[in-house]
Structure 1
Amino acid sequence: MSHEIELKGCAPTPLAHYLKALGILRLVAEQKDPNAKGCWRDEAFVLQSSLDKESLLRFFLEEYQPTPITAPWNAGSGFYFEEGKAAAIDPETGKSFKTGKKLKTGIRDKDTEATRTLDKLLQSQCDRFKGYRELLGKTRQILDEKGLQEAPKENQKSLLIQTIRNAYPDKFLKWLDAVLLIGSDKVSYPPLLGTGGNDGRLDFTNNYMQRLLRLFDALTGEPNSFVSNWLEDSLFLQPTPQMLKEAAIGQFLPGNAGSPNGISGFESKSLVNPWDFILMLEGGLFFSTNAVRRLSSDTGSGTLGFPFTVRMIGAGSGAGNQKDESNSRNEIWLPIWNKITSFEEVCCLFQEGRATVDRRFAKDGLDFARAISAFGVDRGISEFQRYSFVKRNGDAYLATPVNRIAVRNNPTVEIINELERSRFLDQIRRFARSDKAAARLAALAHQLENRLFDLTRGADRRVCQDILILLGKIQRAVGISSKAKEDIHQPIPLLSSQWLVASDDASSEFRLACALAGLKAVGGGSTKSSEQESPIASVFETYAGLPMRLHFAGIKLDKKRYVWDNESRLAVWGEGSLTQNLNETLRCRWLAAQRFSHNDKPFAYGVGANQADIAAFLAGSVDERRISDLAQGLALLKEFNSSELQTPTTRHAALPAAYALLKPFFVPDRELVRIGFLAADAKLPLRGELLSWLAANQTQKAVDWAWAKLRQVGVGLPHFPQQAPSAVGIDGPRLLAALAFPLAYGQMKNLLLTLGAGEKATEQQAESAQ
């Protein structure tokens, strides 16, 4: 008969309680019921086995045999005595001589709590500790053969570990594989179990032995007093007042470790349930590894070969920052599954224990967040609990719960892969963590990581916009930093139109930014001969048809790829207002078109805004800073397609007559011919004076000139009144900025045809109205 038991004392946080759940499942499956299963439900672990609550308690009290673990390479393991002290006083220090220093013999004969604990287990007689006696006896024999009277150092330590690895029976190797990984050139340690089974001066294995002897009599193996109460508290959260005080718990249970201001007094002492300590280390054995299979050239560190372990980054939550990264022992992502799963299946999950992103192993927290959608869904995982091992109490490391990440299918995350072309994402993240990075660039990179994390949690359009904004700012910041360009070799690679779809929130700001970012020029200078390309044509190719991207950062095209341009005269976008930047950009584009001998006005586009968007900009009812920032990010896109954008609810609005009159001068002639506004052989060039008049707020002068120029090229303007419309009250610089935004083709056609007063224009308007 199968029973389900809810273990309320086992929760995903803190780390000790998560490991405790794994320990209970493993021990029940290995020592009592091979068909044991488990899952996580309502913040508790559910055990399914042949044991009911009473028989589960009885199993641990009467039948449980502790897994033998030891770490003889550590000074606090219990295998090494300390040097005794002589009666004489050292005149230099005023302290008693150690016997080794006084007698020059290096005598180590002073026992400790650790050595006394180990001796008790060696002298035990009960079956419960039989395996432990064998392991400790075998280890002491190895140490005696090597003549080790104190903990080995460096190379000697590696040799001892290798000897133990070769000499231990297979049943004792699971702990060894969980606590360290023996590579070809060095030994690596996982953050989960410290540095080889210890954290500073705290040796996990000897403390494990001490907790076992607190629970069970060494000679008989029978439970001591209060053991059953402690067990019920550990498994089911049944309160007990007899907790062990001042017993170390290490990094696993920060809330019980003791700290200043932990109680009403000055400092709280640690409180530990012995079962918690024992069962969490039993659970740690799930993290045993396979060195040959797990070491990979792209991990960069053997530590990353441990299950679910990646480099710590200070992004993704408010619990850490980049400063913590240098003081961390990496981070671990622990799976939470909500379907009953067998012990064998859980073992396979932890043996695999890795995630891949873009066909490589996840190296850090951001990589893991990107990978868990496919990884988790494929294996029935519902969430991951993320832990960072960082300094939080002096020099002590604590397993800090960072956040809980739900697993869901999120195809949008794949667009992040585009940032890894030319290794841009890797290079900017690495440079931002170096001493060469300016504070602003480091802050932007950190914000980018946070927003990329947010994108992995859900396909939010605002998040995608924020990422594009940050990318645009980062490219500008790198473009003006010679140090940054030494490490970040290429600008941000061109992005696909997936970014356009993922970030489209149907707002006026977004459409205006798209229209602006898609500006380009079509047609450059002609070659002088068929044998040799002209310098003008070559320059046109270098600047790739004047895309807006060139105005935001100093870049150019070199052999069909963008590179940094330290001498760019096109990067004119600054920190001023959107109106100021657009005025300056229009003038720069006009000058560039003259210099490069463009055949047409440099205002071709891929996406046009709507009349309602232009009217909102003229009225000042849009977020201009966001338009400016978004345009810089959207300019990174390779192409724009208006069919991929959402259809706005409001498209038409009344625009000033002055805008309609001036707009033809900011539309390529080929488009004007296409809609029938200009004759096929007519030209309507943009004059620099028009830009200057509007920028200087001489709006009426610009309108009057435009009226006369349109009549000159044969555009049918109204016969009455026979004068240009009034520009009273219209701000020239703002009107000029509005003219920079391309207008959607259909709306531009209707707008410009309203200028015509001839019979042809009247007929076309009538047809359009029908």
Structure 2
Amino acid sequence: MPESITLRGCTPEPLSNYLKALGVLRLLAEPHYRDQDKKLKAIDPQAKGYWRNDVFVLITHLTSDELEKFFLYHYEPTPLVAPWNGSTGFYPKDTAQKRLLNSIQQAKSERFQLYGEAIAIAQQQVDALKLTVQPKDEEKRRLVERLRNHLPDEVVKWLDTCLLITSDLLETPPLLGTGGNEGNVEYSRTFMQQLQELIDLTTGKPTQSSNFLLKAALFDEILPELPFAGKIGQFNPIATGGVNASPRHDTDSRVNPWSYVLTMEGIMLFASGATRRYEKSERGRFVYPFTVNASSIGYGSASDSDVARAEFWVPLWSQPTGLRELQILFSEGRAKVGGRSVRDGIDFARAISSLGVTRGIQEFVRYIFLQRNGAGEKASHFAIPLDRFQPQFNPQVDRLKEIDNWLDSFRRAAQDDKAPASVKRAHRRLETAIIDFSRGKAFLLDVLIALGEAEAALDNSLKFTQKKCLHPLPLLESGWIDDCKEESSEFRLALALASNNLRQRLARVRGNKPTFGADNNDKLTTWHKGSLNKNLITLLKRQEIELEQSKNKQDEAEIEQKTRLTQKLPFAKIEDVVWWIDNETQDERIEAIARGLSLVKPKRLETERNNNLKGFVPLTYALLAIAHHRTFKKKAFEKVFGTTILKDNVDLPRIPALLTRLAAGDCFTATKLAARRLRASGFPTKVGEQQEEESRTQRIAAALAFPLSDYGIAYLAKQVLLIHSKE
């Protein structure tokens, strides 16, 4: 009957503890034990494991005592040799390590038989190439090829974890640094050194301290202090020592030898592989399970100055899983977005919305390999856990496919050292919004807002944008509107603004033109830094100028309104406009949402016909809105008044000084002009001149920029006009 053994020393964090859990499962299920007939076999090929409450649970027919006995007396280490690295014992100057290699080769214990054979074969290949020092470039490649052809399969697995030979490259997966070397830590050499602390090379029996070290590594039993100095590389930053690493404030690096050995054994589940992606002329591309390019986004200490080698997204699963299933999972751990392989952490966050769900993964821990010192091949890194991501199916994530190509260009430009700070900030905000949205901590609307901010940053940095040949984002499909919709006055007002061809007012983007910029005489873009209130008034003034410049002023106004009606574009609700006038809305959010929605194709909606008014409508606004709108529709007036009011549609003459007086805060004169124009056109008013504070008058002026339907105008007319039935 299988037992469940909780390995409290095997946790998702730090990375060494995660890899240690994989090492335990792998060593039980693969041949690492000699039976009575001296044949190498697996002690429990049916062993399984899973994660529960951040601890690895092992399901095996072994008891805890039998598990310990296996590691102490029967476990045969995987031969880790790396003659392509220096100081590994294979070259004349490596005298100290050479002695350790000789000790393993001369060991009488069967536990090191395979190890001794692997060392001998590796040395033969070094000698065959007449190498006397660590090889470089083509020599290194030839050595690795010979090792792959001659070493036993058990050792080739280690080679595949350290190095990958493609048609034209020798790649080094980031999990083992630069080919099994991390700064001053050479992993195969350290592995042998730690083994001799645990197993007597002569007798094959455990050393005096091996038992309690194993209990500490597997079951997190307390050790007063680790007596063994050693390095664990990037896998456990806390164990590297240094300032404040102990109560004495400064200490050397310390590591439990069993933890190191099991970590190395677990790494080999992540064998590298190459895949050819038939996408956009890309050549065969190096792929490593659950490993992507680093994105300095989505964590509290993220900074553009971070230097990182890669990200590693480790999966946690909650159902008992055997070694074979895990091997398949890790070998296929290549997530995709939009039909292509993921490239960085942002992509991976998007991909796990489907990857984890389909493969039974409960959670991912996102690690980043941050550089801590050194440079080039001598650089040292820390594997820092950034956050947890729980896969959850979110079909809206597919919307991001539309921005992929543009985002790639924007990302490359933003990462340029000469990119303006505003562009860099906009890029960080956008990618942060994407990663938060992918994990369920933000909405698609947040991504859309960030896209609007990005376009503003690019427009404000026109020289840089044009130098980098950055194109405006192609208009997004109208489905974004439904997926981004929120029930708020801010969203509805922003949608009404954006649907009025707002994009060209916000940025120097013109229709389908593929570049930013405008002709010298083009004054269509009116937006500047400042309040939304001022920008809306500026927009209204520009629209008035354009209308005056048109040869068919009234026809143009008629066409614009008919276009909105036939296309069923959204109008503002009067109650939302009243909230704006009363300063009860968040102006910055309206502008941010409007910027985002201006990037989306207009959404065909049902025209707002029954705009039922709720609460009091300021008479000043009602009077000014109908005078500014200037078009009264017979059908709309009949619907609102319940009888025939107009014989035909009515177009009022323009009031030239209306916006100027309102912008100046002169409510009295503006309303006097509006009432006079209405009376002169045969529409006497219930109200005369009105007086409002300057700031409120200016908000009423800005409110005229929110487009109203013909029915909305009729409702406002009913509040202020003295109209009798024409029947």
For residue 80 of structure 1, give the secondary structure of its aligned residue in structure 2: coil
Give the letter for the 2:176 counterpart: L
Please tell me whether residue 496 in structure 1 is matched to residue 464 in structure 2: no
Query: Are the structure 2 counterparts of residues 558 and 637 from structure 1 closer, same or farther at C-alpha, using a change threshold of 3 Å?
Result: closer
Please tell me whether residue 565 in structure 1 is matched to residue 518 in structure 2: yes
Relative to structure 2, which stretch is displaced further, 475-484 or 353-362?
A: 475-484
For 1:580, the equivalent position in structure 2 comes to: 534
For structure 2, the 5+ residue unaligned runs are 31-41, 639-644
For 1:696, the equivalent position in structure 2 comes to: 664
For residue 79 of structure 1, give the secondary structure of its aligned residue in structure 2: coil
User: 1:20-419 alignment to 2 at 5 Å?
Assistant: 20-30=20-30, 31-82=42-93, 111-112=95-96, 114-241=97-224, 243-291=226-274, 293=275, 304-324=286-306, 327-392=307-372, 395-419=379-403
Assess if the C-alpha contact under 8 Å between 2:291 and 2:311 holds in 1.
yes
For 1:505, the equivalent position in structure 2 comes to: 486
Offset, 1:708: 2.6
For structure 1, the 5+ residue unaligned runs are 83-109, 520-546, 764-770
Give me the whole-angstrom Cα distance separating, in 2, the residues matched to 1:150 and 1:48.
46
Query: Are the structure 2 counterparts of residues 258 and 729 from structure 1 closer, same or farther at C-alpha, using a change threshold of 3 Å?
Result: closer
Please tell me whether residue 669 in structure 1 is matched to residue 631 in structure 2: yes
Give me the whole-angstrom Cα distance separating, in 2, the residues matched to 1:413 and 1:174.
37
Offset, 1:11: 0.6
Relative to structure 2, which stretch is displaced further, 472-481 or 29-38?
A: 472-481
Offset, 1:614: 1.8
Assess if the C-alpha contact under 8 Å between 1:554 and 1:571 holds in 2.
yes
Can you list the C-alpha shifts for 1:123-152, whole angstroms capped at 9, x where unaligned?
112110111011100011111121112111
Task: Give the TM-score normalised by the residue count of structure 2.
Answer: 0.90
Give the letter for the 2:503 counterpart: R
Can you list the C-alpha shifts for 1:649-672, whole angstroms capped at 9, x where unaligned?
x96231222211221244473757
Offset, 1:626: 1.9
Give me the whole-angstrom Cα distance separating, in 2, the residues matched to 1:728 and 1:401.
58
Offset, 1:674: 4.3
Offset, 1:464: 3.5
Assess if the C-alpha contact under 8 Å between 1:661 and 1:755 holds in 2.
yes
Give me the whole-angstrom Cα distance separating, in 2, the residues matched to 1:672 and 1:148.
96
Query: Are the structure 2 counterparts of residues 193 and 302 from structure 1 closer, same or farther at C-alpha, using a change threshold of 3 Å?
Result: farther
Can you list the C-alpha shifts for 1:741-762, whole angstroms capped at 9, x where unaligned?
123665443222333433329x
Query: Are the structure 2 counterparts of residues 363 and 313 from structure 1 closer, same or farther at C-alpha, using a change threshold of 3 Å?
Result: same
Assess if the C-alpha contact under 8 Å between 1:459 and 1:502 holds in 2.
no
Give the letter for the 1:403 counterpart: D
Give me the whole-angstrom Cα distance separating, in 2, the residues matched to 1:672 and 1:442.
53
**Aligned match of 2:691 in 727, 742, 754?**
727
* Number of corresponding residues: 693
Give the letter for the 1:79 counterpart: F
Relative to structure 2, which stretch is displaced further, 493-502 or 170-179?
A: 493-502
Give the letter for the 1:419 counterpart: I
Query: Are the structure 2 counterparts of residues 141 and 672 from structure 1 closer, same or farther at C-alpha, using a change threshold of 3 Å?
Result: farther
Query: Are the structure 2 counterparts of residues 728 and 150 from structure 1 closer, same or farther at C-alpha, using a change threshold of 3 Å?
Result: closer
Give me the whole-angstrom Cα distance separating, in 2, the residues matched to 1:23 and 1:295.
31
Query: Are the structure 2 counterparts of residues 600 and 214 from structure 1 closer, same or farther at C-alpha, using a change threshold of 3 Å?
Result: same
Offset, 1:488: 4.8
RMSD, aligned CA: 2.6
For 2:438, the equivalent position in structure 1 comes to: 456
Assess if the C-alpha contact under 8 Å between 1:304 and 1:310 holds in 2.
no
Give me the whole-angstrom Cα distance separating, in 2, the residues matched to 1:600 and 1:733.
26
Give me the whole-angstrom Cα distance separating, in 2, the residues matched to 1:186 and 1:435.
28
Can you list the C-alpha shifts for 1:482-516, whole angstroms capped at 9, x where unaligned?
22233253212212334333333322222222222
Offset, 1:15: 0.5
For residue 353 of structure 1, give the secondary structure of its aligned residue in structure 2: coil
For 1:660, the equivalent position in structure 2 comes to: 622
Offset, 1:159: 1.7
Give the letter for the 1:59 counterpart: F
Give the letter for the 1:614 counterpart: V
Give me the whole-angstrom Cα distance separating, in 1, the residues matched to 2:519 and 2:82.
58
Give me the whole-angstrom Cα distance separating, in 2, the residues matched to 1:672 and 1:300.
62
Relative to structure 2, which stretch is displaced further, 297-306 or 61-70?
A: 297-306
Give the letter for the 1:592 counterpart: E
Give the letter for the 2:675 counterpart: W
Assess if the C-alpha contact under 8 Å between 2:633 and 2:649 holds in 1.
no
Give me the whole-angstrom Cα distance separating, in 2, the residues matched to 1:678 and 1:433.
62
Please tell me whether residue 438 in structure 1 is matched to residue 420 in structure 2: yes
**Aligned match of 2:677 in 709, 719, 725?**
709
Give me the whole-angstrom Cα distance separating, in 2, the residues matched to 1:123 and 1:417.
59
Give the letter for the 2:433 counterpart: R
For 2:594, the equivalent position in structure 1 comes to: 631
For 2:573, the equivalent position in structure 1 comes to: 610
Assess if the C-alpha contact under 8 Å between 1:388 and 1:400 holds in 2.
yes
Give the letter for the 1:318 counterpart: G
Offset, 1:608: 2.6
Assess if the C-alpha contact under 8 Å between 2:471 and 2:515 holds in 1.
yes
Assess if the C-alpha contact under 8 Å between 2:634 and 2:648 holds in 1.
no
Can you list the C-alpha shifts for 1:326-358, whole angstroms capped at 9, x where unaligned?
x22111111111111121111100000110001
Task: Give the TM-score normalised by the residue count of structure 1.
Answer: 0.85
**Aligned match of 2:556 in 593, 600, 623?**
600
Assess if the C-alpha contact under 8 Å between 1:19 and 1:281 holds in 2.
yes
Offset, 1:384: 0.7
Give the letter for the 1:67 counterpart: T
Give me the whole-angstrom Cα distance separating, in 2, the residues matched to 1:223 and 1:724.
101
